[in-house]
Amino acid sequence: MATKIKDFREMSADELGTARRDMKEEALHLRIQKESGQIENPARIHQIRRDIARIETILSEKRNAEASN
C-alpha cells in the first residue's frame, strides 16, 4: 500500500530514515524475486521507488529548512 505524502510529512527525520532503509531493503528483495520469476505484484517495485523518492524529497526539505534557520 502506498503511503500518502501527508503521512510522510508528519514523520520525524529519524522515522523517515528508518522507513527509507526498510523500503530500500524491500526493493532489493522485490528485484531478486523479479529476476527469479517469483514476484507476485510487479507493480509494487514502481510503487516502492516512488515512496523512496518522496521520502528523499521530504528529508531534503527538512534539511534545507533547518539550514535556513
Q: Which CATH number covers residue 36?
A: 1.10.287.310
User: What are 1-57's pLDDT values in tens digits?
Assistant: 556 889 999 999 999 999 999 999 999 999 999 999 999 999 999 999 999 999 999
> What amino acid occupies position 10?
E
The grid cell for 18 is: 528508518
Average pLDDT over residues 55-68: 93
Contact 54, 5 (CB under 8 A): yes
Residue 54: domain span: 5-68
Contact 39, 33 (CB under 8 A): yes
pTM reported for the whole predicted model: 0.88
User: What are 23-32's pLDDT values in tens digits?
Assistant: 999 999 999 9
Domain count across the chain: 1
